[in-house]
Structure 1
Amino acid sequence: MQLARLLPLALLAPLALASCSNDNDSSDSANAAKLEVRLMDAPGDFRTVVLDVQKIEVHLKEEKDPAVYQLLPFKAQTINVLDYVNGKSALLVSTDFTPGDLSEIRLLLGPDSYVIGRDGQRYDLKTPSGQTSGVKLKLDKASLQARQTFQLLLDFDVAKSIVERGNWKPGNDKKERYLLKPVIRVVAQDIAGGLRGTVTPAAALPQVLAIRSSITVPDTFSTAADASGAFQLSGIPAGTYRVEFFPTTTAPTGQPAYRVITRTGITVTNNQVSELGQTTLN
């Protein structure tokens, strides 16, 4: 990544050398890669899930010291990850970067993460490791090429990441109810398939599981339909999928019951979003 030169040093350098340096900077900038980091969410049973993200760093594959990370230009902020479902994502970083291979990305979380439960109450999230050594995510095949954009999509799984303490009871200190143990799937730019559709009735609020059945050990990816019945899974590998819909509510009295529906033989192609159309759950 280009680092700004210190002004006093620049003033001391001969004019000819400064001109040469500027030419090199322009050449380096023209050959830089673009690195983007985005965050999206697989929903859980909460009204709000806020992460206090302080820093984002990457480890270079060529760096021999495992403790040395490169800080990315990111402004510390709190992010409600439930705002980024159904194909939406938050752009956290967009920067020029020296071409090369990345081996790891690390998020450092602050003390102000919290959830608002279905009961409307706020519960602080304790992050045992995220506040010290950070949340470390290994990267496979993260190779940045000159004059190309490389995207890391961080898919945060709320349902698996927020763990209720076993000994917590109603009436206990709200700060002690939940632990944050982040489960985040990293999707590189070259894995860019997608799947979207709608469900009816939307009031069923189903969980949607896409199970890649075309490999020996199936992969499973999940999301939830929104209030309009729409859903989208992004950044999933190409292959043949079985898609399962699990209603999370019951039908009103006098209306047909909501059913678990399974659709098979769904094809996902790299760099395309496959349309599943409408699925009826009653």
Structure 2
Amino acid sequence: MSQVKRYTGQKAVQLVADIGGHVEGAAVILLHGGGQTRHSWRGAFDALVAAGYHVISYDARGHGESGWSPDGDYTLPVLAADLQAIIDTLETPPTLVGASMGAATAFYLAGATRSAGIGALVMVDLVPRVEQAGADRILAFMRAYPEGFATVEEAADAVCEYYPHRPRPRDPSGLMKNLRRGENGRLYWHWDPKMLEQDDRPEPPPSLADRMSSVKDGISVPVMLIRGTRSDIVSDAGVAEFRQMLPQLEVVDVSGAGHMVVGDSNDAFNSGLLDFLARNRL
């Protein structure tokens, strides 16, 4: 069982989270990628709770049920401040598990604070130097369909076109968690379009190399990268550069998975995550 909780982030933006597991268990915070919501972690959330962890999975500002930035600011420092507000409510250092935008947020905060109050980092398919073609593909999808969709089936068609390797769900109603209904009755993706209007956007990142390099010396905790072997965002060269940046980096390859590792191969992802947590006694 999980419960819904609200946190107050930077500039009083309300952040909505699912909370599960015993409060005395080791804490794990799940940070979704840009354009997603906390519900993308459902399988991992349940597996972590079953393993005895205290789990927090929240909608980033501008996403899902959380509030939107009143000034349209979605830069990493602001996202990191939101994350810090959640960490400040915990009594023990959490493990931060982030996908794409969430990974960048977690890494930036850990480095900027010299890992204070953080137990470990798990980066899901993100390295400092991402492949531009893959980033362009994400951006094109997120900017597509500004007119929205008449039905959830239309939205499902768009997702299937973007993920041709995934089988189409028999019932697309679950996609409603990623959609909001506008005043005109049409359905729109459940995130603030202003996120894409800034040069220093968090998703897809134009270039994280300089920003991550600037804080890397503050990373003193265990770090694992879980990447999909079919990812168009993370390359072998990008992983090699990341290894040079962080000597303690562990890497787990999930065979057949793309950039959306958790959605493509949840069981393999959970196995790698739980093994990392157990080996590091987290």
TM-score (norm 1): 0.22
Q: Which structure carries more helix by proportion?
A: 2
Q: Relative contact order: is structure 1 or structure 2 higher (C-alpha 8 Å, sep ≥ 6)?
A: 2
TM-score (norm 2): 0.22
Q: Which structure carries more strand by proportion?
A: 1
